[in-house]
Amino acid sequence: DRIGKSIGTALKNEELIKDFSSKNFTGGSGTWALSTFQAYKNRLATSFIGSQTLINNLILTKSALKLSDSKAIAQLVQEYEAIAVPVNSKYQTLDQLINDLRNNPKSVTFIGGTAGGVDHVFMAKILNSLNIDPKLANYQPQNSGFEVVTKSLTDKNAVALSTSGDFVAQVNAGKLRVLGIASPEKVKWLKAKTLKAQYIDVVYGNWYGIFLPPLYSEPQTNNFIHLLDVLHNSHIWLKTLEDNYWSEGYVGQKDFVAQIEAQTAETKSIISLLGL
């Protein structure tokens, strides 16, 4: 909901649209919203915000819904995953955590979002990079990033996984320490190193993109794409990203479609590895 309102507000402030409305359909990690959107067959003045989280849930629930039945337009936002621990954790560095994972993966308890979600897949990608069976580590699923942070503050043995922005407030308060971020480069809002800089070849996170009804004509689609091309380079949008701890993640239509296909295949494989 926040993503949709932010995009709409930025488009309006740039005078690219006259007005907008935003509606949130809570439930099913976006599947209810997708089914509602795809039922609006003749409502052309409607767009949909999709995400990596939605892809995961479509796979987990074996849903008959297909994201490809909507027209992918562009990715606008990237939220990279991060690893955080309480300040009284025994883990001062990522290397210490990796050593424990190599010696006994069952000794490490990860806390993240729902089973099979982005955080859980992030854990699996880390373990895969270390040639460790992801099923060997303990994973405690929570309902939200807020719950992940809250639980990690009360358990010094927890290793929390969530998008980097979720940890900023408690890092600044001196209560959490970030061991690494799965971004290609360092982010402005946290001092932590990337995983790649610490020899873990994982770049991963949740993304948000825009989808249109398939009935959009080519000229209508091109006009919408032009609006987003102008928006994502604007000062207003760059400020919106910074204010929300989001990374700039613009991906144009052709590459976005290919990315969705590749990530769907990878996610299916990892969820299967996790035994879900």
pLDDT in tens, 89-110: 999 999 999 999 999 999 999 9
Whole-number CA gyration radius for the chain: 19
Residues 6+ apart with CB under 8 A from 196: 184, 202, 203
Two structure tokens written together for 93: 């560095």
Query: What pTM, to 2 d.p., does this model score?
Result: 0.92
Query: Above 90 in pLDDT, residue 56?
Result: yes
10 Å Cβ neighbour count for 91? 21
Q: What percent of the chain has pLDDT over 70?
A: 97
Report residue 51's pLDDT band, with 50, 70 and 90 as the boundaries.
very high
Determine contact, residues 205/124, Cβ cutoff 8 Å.
no
Report residue 5's pLDDT band, with 50, 70 and 90 as the boundaries.
confident
pLDDT at 27: 67
Q: How far apart are CA 74 and CA 252, in angstroms?
A: 5
| pLDDT tens per residue, range 147-186 | 999 999 999 999 999 999 999 999 999 999 999 999 999 9
pLDDT at 13: 85
Q: How far apart are CA 93 and CA 224, in angstroms?
A: 45
Beta pairing partners, 178: 84
Residues 6+ apart with CB under 8 A from 270: 121, 124, 125, 128, 134
pLDDT at 28: 66
Q: How far apart are CA 148 and CA 48, in angstroms?
A: 27
Q: What percent of the chain has pLDDT over 90?
A: 69
Residues 6+ apart with CB under 8 A from 54: 29, 30, 31, 34, 67
